[in-house]
Amino acid sequence: MARIHRSPYPPVDVPDVSLGEYVLAGADARGRHPALIDGATGEEISFGDLVDQVRSLAAGLLASGIGRGDVVALVSHNQPRYAVAFHAVLAAGATVTPMSPLATEEEMARQLRASGAVLAFASAAAAPTLHGAARSSVPLDVVVLEEAAFDESVADGERALATGARLPRVGNDGVALLPYSSGTGGTPKGVMLTHRNLVAALAQHAPLYRLTNDDVCAAVLPYYHIYGTTMILNYALRAGATQVTLPRFDLSGYLGLVERHRVSRGHFAPPLVLALANAPEVDAHDLSSLRLAMCGAAPLDVAVAARATARTGAPIGQGYGMTEASPGLTFVADEEVGVLSSGCVGRLVPNTEARLVDPATGEDSESEGEMWARGPQVMAGYLGNPTATAETLVEDGWLRTGDILRVDADGVWWVVDRLKELIKYKGYQVAPAELEALLLTHPDVEDAAVIGVPHAEGGEAPKAFVVGTPTEAELLSWVAERVAPYKRIRAVEFVDTIPKSPAGKILRRVLRNS
């Protein structure tokens, strides 16, 4: 018998509007209030300017033939224009596929091909790699966010609007965002998140995560990851809060930014909490503006969290979820941060149900098992991959998370273990299957398997077991040339054979215990 756990919060209404309409609803009225500030250059976009630029760029995109059904890649570090490009693509009726600007040419080419992207917005730093990807396999135009061509597209659109061009009604049933995730196994797949999924994700947090237009957020976690997209970029825009962007995380940059801009709310991942807990320079900064912080994307060590709180003054609450759930499933509500144990991940967000299924028996368990979740934030499926979709979205719309969770009698949840193959390096997804496939293309590698092992800075990191003759140093640098930095293999062990089941499946547990 299914044992269904339900959110303790009253259901929220998920309005029937597009993501852009929902997120930018109050923006016009906010006028000159700063929406986004570039922490590196000081460049600022107000809410009023953001709406104008989004509308103009959307009209420019429509005039150049981009619209409903098209996919546009967005490949950039955090900067204010990220928000303009993101919402303009959506306002034109098209879909954003986000990607790390540090991805290699082959990684970019793969996602461009798989998503069918017809245009890309890129940061100046990512543009050369993207041009390379476009030349080698996927012809597409690249508009660089920091260059004049971007301003010209906005100006073209402004003229088009002035002479009567209209933006389409976007609705909420289409795919707004197509991030890539390996889900519960295999290689990265396009996660189809509809406008409705993403509006729901924001609406579901509204009673729990109370940002106002007095809040200032530091956007250091990348917008291209679902945590950054939903919990920072779109949440802060909807709430009228100001977000200050940093191109990449470095502790000094972050601390200086909190102090200078009086950042009120922390959006953390475990490596940032670790740095706040340990680095001496934290004490040299006035962090008194930070009133509350959230953390997610990977397991948080309770002792480390307590040390970070002691030094910053900000209690830390966790959220838990995954790309396939837009991403939030559980969350520690503001008023319970510092009240509930910092090791827990809070309660089920509104309109969300969960089951705990024993992976050994397939039976529902009362308090611990693989979490299956259901709610309006759960993806429509994987693009062009009905097999993976059917394995992940099982009967009656339950999303298999691939994580083992526990719930107590008060409805408070803990992440206990990860069942799926995914490795999380600093909160970023690393798919073992992707690294294994790459290793097998090395001429001197006969067989290979990859697992996650504990890593001081990254939480965990990929380790390869290899049958073959290359040296460790050679193999590490060969892989490093071919993958984004966060996917690098950090250790190699040479073995005689890779343990496999009779069906040929790698026995990772055996490797883990070896």
- Is 297:315 a contact under the CB 8 Å cutoff? no
Q: Using an 8 Å Cβ cutoff, are 96 and 177 in contact?
A: yes
Which of 174, 188, 321, 350 is the binder for ligand 4UW (CB under 6 A)?
321
User: Shortest gap between Cβ of 198 and ligand 4UW (angstroms)?
Assistant: 13
For 9, the token pair is 């919060």
Return the closest-CA partner of residue 279 out of 308, 300, 305. 308
Neighbours of 414 (CB within 10 A): 18
Relative to beta strand 445-455, strand 459-468 is antiparallel
Min separation Cβ 483 and ligand 4UW, Å: 16
Let me know: does 355 contact 333? Beta carbons within 8 Å.
no
Q: Which of 81, 355, 418, 482 binds ligand 4UW (CB under 6 A)?
A: 418
Burial of 251 by CB count in 10 Å (0-12 exposed, 13-18 middle, 19+ buried)?
middle
Tell me: does residue 318 bind ligand 4UW (CB under 6 A): yes
* Closest-CA residue to 89 (of 75, 102, 77): 75
- The smaller minimum CB distance to ligand 4UW, of residues 121 and 486, is found at 486
- Stretch of 69-77, 88-96, 303-311, 313-321 lying at the interface with ligand 4UW (CB under 6 A): 313-321
How many residues contact ligand 4UW, by CB under 6 A?
A: 28
CB of 293 to ligand 4UW, least distance (A): 9
- Both tokens assigned to 168: 């389409």
Q: What number of other Cβ atoms are within 10 A of residue 392's Cβ?
A: 25
- In angstroms, what is the minimal distance from the CB of 57 to ligand 4UW? 28
State which residue, 56 or 392, has the beta carbon closest to ligand 4UW: 392
What is the maximum span of the chain, computed from C-alpha positions, in angstroms? 71
Selected from 34, 228, 271, 296, the binder of ligand 4UW by CB under 6 A is 296
Q: Is the peptide bond before 327 cis (omega within 30 degrees of 0)?
A: yes
State which of residues 52, 334, 370, 403 lies at the interface with ligand 4UW (CB under 6 A): 403
Q: How far apart are CA 176 and CA 294, in angstroms?
A: 25
Q: Which one of the spans 45-53, 74-82, 296-304, 486-494 is the region binding ligand 4UW (CB under 6 A)?
A: 296-304
Tell me how far, at minimum, the Cβ of 462 lies from ligand 4UW, in Å. Answer: 15
- Contact segment (CB under 6 A) with ligand 4UW among 2-10, 322-330, 446-454, 505-513 equals 322-330
DSSP class of 240: T
359-379 CB burial, b ≥16 within 10 A, e <16: eeeeebbeeebbbbbbbbbbb
CB atoms within 10 A of CB 118: 18
Of the candidate spans 41-49, 99-107, 159-167, 292-300, the one that interacts with ligand 4UW by CB under 6 A turns out to be 292-300
Closer Cβ to ligand 4UW, 53 or 194, answer by number? 194
Q: What residue number has its CB nearest to ligand 4UW? A: 319
Stretch binding ligand 4UW (CB under 6 A), from 56-64, 390-398, 424-432, 459-467 = 424-432
Q: Which stretch binds ligand 4UW (CB under 6 A): 30-38, 111-119, 129-137, 421-429?
A: 421-429
d(CA 495, CA 359): 29
118 binds ligand 4UW (CB under 6 A): no
Name the one range near ligand 4UW by CB under 6 A: 31-39, 130-138, 325-333, 465-473.
Answer: 325-333
Contacts of ligand 4UW in 155-194 (CB under 6 A): 181
* C-beta of residue 463 within 8 angstroms of C-beta of residue 434: no
Residue of 27, 57, 85, 297 interacting with ligand 4UW (CB under 6 A): 297
Binding span for ligand 4UW by CB under 6 A among 24-32, 46-54, 192-200, 324-332: 324-332
Closest C-alpha to 84, from 116, 108, 61, 110? 61
Q: Does residue 320 touch ligand 4UW according to CB under 6 A?
A: yes
Contact with ligand 4UW (CB under 6 A) among 101, 299, 381, 459? 299
Stretch that binds ligand 4UW, among 9-17, 115-123, 289-297, 461-469 (CB under 6 A): 289-297
Q: Which of 231, 277, 383, 423 binds ligand 4UW (CB under 6 A)?
A: 231
Please identify, using beta-carbon distances, which residue of 51 and 337 lies nearer to ligand 4UW: 337
Non-local CB neighbours of 228 within 8 Å, separated by 6+ positions: 78, 219, 221, 222, 267
Residue 223: HSE in the Cβ half-sphere, 13 Å Cα cutoff: 34
Q: Return the closest-CA partner of residue 379 out of 206, 170, 114, 195.
A: 195
Judged by beta carbon, residue 39 or residue 270, the one nearer ligand 4UW is 270
Q: Does 458 bind ligand 4UW (CB under 6 A)?
A: no
Q: Is 226 in the site for ligand 4UW (CB under 6 A)?
A: yes
Binders of ligand 4UW among residues 327 to 386 (CB under 6 A) are 327-328, 331, 345
Q: Which one-letter DSSP state was computed for residue 43?
A: -
Q: Give one DSSP letter per residue of 126-159, joined into a string.
A: THHHHHHHHHHT---EEEETTSHHHHHHHHHHHH
3-state SS class at 5: strand
298 is an interface residue for ligand 4UW by CB under 6 A: yes
Question: Is 215 or 403 the residue whose CB approaches ligand 4UW more closely?
Answer: 403
Least distance between ligand 4UW and beta carbon 295 (Å)? 6
Interface residue list for ligand 4UW (CB under 6 A)? 181, 226-227, 231, 294-299, 318-323, 327-328, 331, 345, 401-403, 415, 418, 424, 427, 429
